[in-house]
Amino acid sequence: MVCKGHGFFCLWRPPPLRMLRWQALVDDSLQREMVVNAQHNSDKAYGMVPATPQAAPGHASDLSDTGRPLPNAAVDSAADMRRALLEAGRTEFANYGFDGARLERIVAKVGCAKRMLYYYFGNKKDVYLAVIAQCYSDIRASEEQLNLDALPPLQALHALAQKSFEYHEQNQEFTRLVLQENFQGAQLLGQVSNTELLRKAALEPVERILQRGVAQGVFRADVTAVDVHYLISALSSFRVDHAATWNSLLQVDLLGDTLRTRHLHLLLDQLSRLVRQP
């Protein structure tokens, strides 16, 4: 940008990304030091030796500038900020896609400086990848709470299917993000660092259930985890993804209570028919 004033021209350039990240580090270090002082009534000076950028809570960012662990309040504050940014990012990317999303709207919703977003994640693509990874981690975490290995095989599959059915209904931004990724050929999803872990978390619990069912003589041996995952995902997500068009064109409320109960029973019935011995 060229500006004119006082009879001469001057050239102004925006600060490079590394400078924005450094400023974010300083801001974060100040906030953490204030918590330390408030809780420990310490009068030490602010030594600005920032934590490593993008360090996750529980690692380097859990240490004060002296190397001592930060109090729980500071760690919780950092975790809360990161989670708030992820949730705002999920809404932004689900509504506008990667190209249309704006980091300014994300930080405005959270109420923090844009520098904090750079500190916790990096650039726009880094934010998006973190959002995608968190969404898939969340649905797998919700399934882990079911303790599937302790249930009889068919009951375990039904519990897993119902959890997926409910999760898609209650987290419609997740289904829109998945659609957005498919529109783009899943080019960015392949860059998520823990893709292999997410794949295993989706399929391995189903594989264990099927193996137990076959061993007990109640399941067919030719049904795979991919078959089960496909059936559950299809009947759980379609009703959410297409609710608006079905309601407008066919005047059918896929998310209404009547069809909700009917389609949940349909899912469980089809799942039983798929896996049971003839």
Task: Write the CA distances from 60 to 32, 66, 105, 117, 274, integer angstroms.
Answer: 13, 12, 29, 18, 48
Model confidence at 228, pLDDT cuts 50, 70, 90, reads very high
Measure the CA–CA gap between 145 and 127, rounded to whole angstroms: 27
Single-letter amino acid, residue 7: G
Model confidence at 190, pLDDT cuts 50, 70, 90, reads confident
Mean pLDDT of the chain: 79
The predicted-structure confidence for 160-173, as pLDDT tens digits, reads as follows 999 999 999 999 99
Q: Which two tokens stand for residue 23?
A: 């400023």
What is the model's pTM?
A: 0.70
Which residue do the tokens 């021209």 mark?
A: 9
Q: Is the pLDDT of residue 72 over 50?
A: yes
- C-beta neighbour count of 235 within 10 angstroms: 20
Q: Which two tokens stand for residue 144?
A: 């882990």
The predicted-structure confidence for 233-260, as pLDDT tens digits, reads as follows 999 999 999 999 999 999 999 999 999 9
Model confidence at 60, pLDDT cuts 50, 70, 90, reads very low
Q: Is the pLDDT of residue 23 over 60?
A: no
Show the domains of the chain with their CATH numbers: 16-44+51-122 (no CATH), 151-275 (1.10.357.10)
- β partners of residue 11: 2
Identify which of 129, 130, 208, 142 has the alpha carbon closest to the alpha carbon of residue 170.
Answer: 142
